[in-house]
Amino acid sequence: MTGRRVVITGVGALTPIGNSASEFWNGLLSGKSGVRPITHFDTSDLPTKFAGQLENYEATNFFDRKEARRMDPVTQYALITADEAIADSKIDLDNVDKDRIGVMVGTGIGGMTTYYEQSVSLHEHGARGVNPFFIPMLIPDMPAGQISIKYGFRGANFCAVSACATGSHNIGLAFDSIRFGMSDMVLCGGTEAPVWRIGIAGFSSMKALSKRNEEPEKASRPFDKDRDGFVLGEGASMFFLESLDSALERGARIYGEIVGYGFSADAHHITAPDPDGNGVRLALNGALDMAGIKPEDIEHINMHGTSTPLGDIAETNSIKKVFGDHAYKINLNSTKSMTGHMLGAAGAAESLATLLAIYHSVIPPTINQENPDPECDLNYTPNKAVERDITYAMNNAFGFGGHNTTLVFKKYQK
C-alpha cells in the first residue's frame, strides 16, 4: 500500500440492536436479535410482517419538531451517528482546517418514507399536496450535505450509491482521499431507512424476504439449512477517519487502521449473485493485494451473509477458492443474523463490527445456527462470541447490480 496511513478515531451507530456504538457492540456480543414484529404501520396485507427496526427511536429526542419534519429518517439517522462519531473522536473542531475535512456518506435507496408519503399526498390532494421540501428530503446525497452544513466541513463531499455495498464503498473512497492527500479527515459511512410499507412490499414481491412471521427473531439465519430469505433492517453507522500523523499529533485514541480494499463487479445479474463467485474473488484478492498481505494473514471475516439460499453458498465458495485450506481456520460471521440487512448502511455497520472485533479481541457470533447447511461448512462462529486476538480482518459487502466490496482492517501497531 502506498500513501499515508489511515486510522479510525471515532465511531457511531444506530441499529436494531443498539442506539449507539457501545450498545451495538454489547448487543452483538450477547447474540441479541433486533428483529421483531412491525408495529408502526399496518402489515395485515403484507407477506412479511417483521423487520430489524430501531428500538425506542423518537426523532424529537434528537431534533426539534420543525427540523424533524424537514428531514427524512435516512438523513436523521446519518446526522445522529455522525454526531456520535465526531464526539467519540474528541476532535477540536475550532482548531482544524475544515477545508480539509470531507464527508462521504451514502444510502442505497434514499428517502423512501418521504417518497411514499408524498406520492400518496399527490394522489389524494394534487400538486398542492406535495411538500416543498420533498426533493431535498428524498435525494440520496442529502445526508452527506446536511452533515457538512451542520459542521462546516468544506472538503470532498459526495454520496457513492451501490445498493448494499454503499457503506463500504464510501469508507473505501474516504480511505483513498486521506492516503493520497486530498483530505486530512473524513466522516464516512452509510445510512438507510427502508422499513416502510413500500419497502416491505417491494422486497416481498421479489420473494427476497423471509416469511417466518411466527418466529421473527429467528428469521435471519445465515448459513442455516432452514433459511428462507433475508430480513429488512434499518439504521446507520459512521467512521471518523484521519491520517495517522494527525491522530498521533493530537493524542487520539485509535481503534484500528484501514489498509486495503477490493472493488469489483459480478457482471452477471441485476439481483442474483454470480454462482461462480468471479467478482467476489476479484474483490477479496484485490483487497489482499492492496494491503500487501497473504491469505493466511486473515483471521476474521465479517461476511455479507444475507440468509438467502443462493447468496450464502456463493460467498462461502468464493472464500474457499481464495483462502484454500486456510478458510477453515478463519472465524467467519454474519452480524445480519442479529440486525437484519441494513442495505446501504450494512457495509458500514458490519465494518464497525469488524473493527471492534479487532479492537476488543472478540468475534461476535452468527446467531440462529441450528441446522447447518452442508454446503456452508466453514466456521461461522455459531451462536456464541469467541475470544481471538486479531491482526487482520475483512468485511464483505455486495449489492444488487453485482457491486462487490471487501475492506481490510488491521490492529493498530506503531
Residue 141: which of 102, 106, 187 has the closest Cα? 106
Cα gap 335→301, rounded to integer Å = 11
Tell which CATH classification among 3.40.47.10, 3.40.800.20, 1.10.760.10, 3.40.50.150 matches the domain 7-249: 3.40.47.10
Its sign, for the CA torsion 227, 232, 236, 241, is: positive
Cα gap 24→339, rounded to integer Å = 9
Options 169, 341, 376, 403, the catalytic residue: 341
Q: What's the whole-number average pLDDT of the chain?
A: 97
Cα-Cα end-to-end distance for the chain = 16
Options 169, 300, 304, 403, the catalytic residue: 304
Asked if pLDDT for residue 278 goes beyond 80, the answer is yes
State the pLDDT at residue 414.
86
State the pLDDT at residue 302.
98
Amino acid, res. 57: Y
Task: Say whether 89 sits in a helix, a strand or coil.
Answer: helix
- Let me know if 304 is a catalytic residue: yes
State pLDDT tens for residues 19-42.
Answer: 999 999 999 999 999 999 999 999
Return the number of other C-beta atoms located less than 10 Å from residue 285's C-beta. Answer: 16
For the chain, which residues make up each domain, given as ranges? 7-249, 258-410
Q: What does the block give as the cell for 8? A: 479510525
Amino acid, res. 147: I
How does strand 157-158 pair with strand 101-106?
Answer: parallel
Q: What does the block give as the cell for 138? A: 428524498
State the pLDDT at residue 32.
96
Fold equal for 7-249 and 258-410: yes
Q: What is the DSSP string of 155-181?
A: S-EE----GGGHHHHHHHHHHHHHHTT
Cα gap 368→15, rounded to integer Å = 19
Task: Say whether 300 sits in a helix, a strand or coil.
Answer: strand
Asked if pLDDT for residue 168 goes beyond 90, the answer is yes
Asked if pLDDT for residue 133 goes beyond 90, the answer is yes
Options 164, 188, 376, 403, the catalytic residue: 164
- Let me know if 341 is a catalytic residue: yes
Percent composition of the chain: helix, strand, coil (DSSP 3-state, to 5): 40, 20, 40
pLDDT band of residue 59 (cuts 50, 70, 90) is: very high
State the pLDDT at residue 279.
95
pLDDT band of residue 2 (cuts 50, 70, 90) is: confident
Please say whether the beta carbons of 104 and 158 come within 8 A: yes
Q: What is the DSSP string of 222-290?
A: TTBTT---B-BB-EEEEEEEEEHHHHHHTT----EEEEEEEEEE--S-SSSPPTT-HHHHHHHHHHHHH
Asked if pLDDT for residue 1 goes beyond 80, the answer is no
State pLDDT tens for residues 169-224.
Answer: 999 999 999 999 999 999 999 999 999 999 999 999 999 999 999 999 999 999 99
State the pLDDT at residue 3.
93
Cα gap 84→59, rounded to integer Å = 15
State the pLDDT at residue 105.
98
Question: What is the chain's length?
Answer: 414
Amino acid, res. 381: T
Q: What does the block give as the cell for 15? A: 441499529
pLDDT band of residue 284 (cuts 50, 70, 90) is: very high
State the pLDDT at residue 323.
98
- Let me know if 376 is a catalytic residue: no
Cα gap 27→50, rounded to integer Å = 19
Fold of 258-410: Peroxisomal Thiolase; Chain A, domain 1 (3.40.47)
Could you tell me how many helices (H) and strands (E) the chain has, helices first? Answer: 13, 14
Residues 6+ apart with CB under 8 A from 215: none
pLDDT band of residue 347 (cuts 50, 70, 90) is: very high
Q: What does the block give as the cell for 83? A: 454526531
**93 backbone dihedrals φ, ψ, rounded to 5°:** -70, -10
Q: What is the DSSP string of 314-369?
A: HHHHHHHHHHGGGGGGSEEE-THHHH-B-GGGHHHHHHHHHHHHHHHTEE--B---
Return the number of other C-beta atoms located less than 10 Å from residue 241's C-beta. Answer: 31
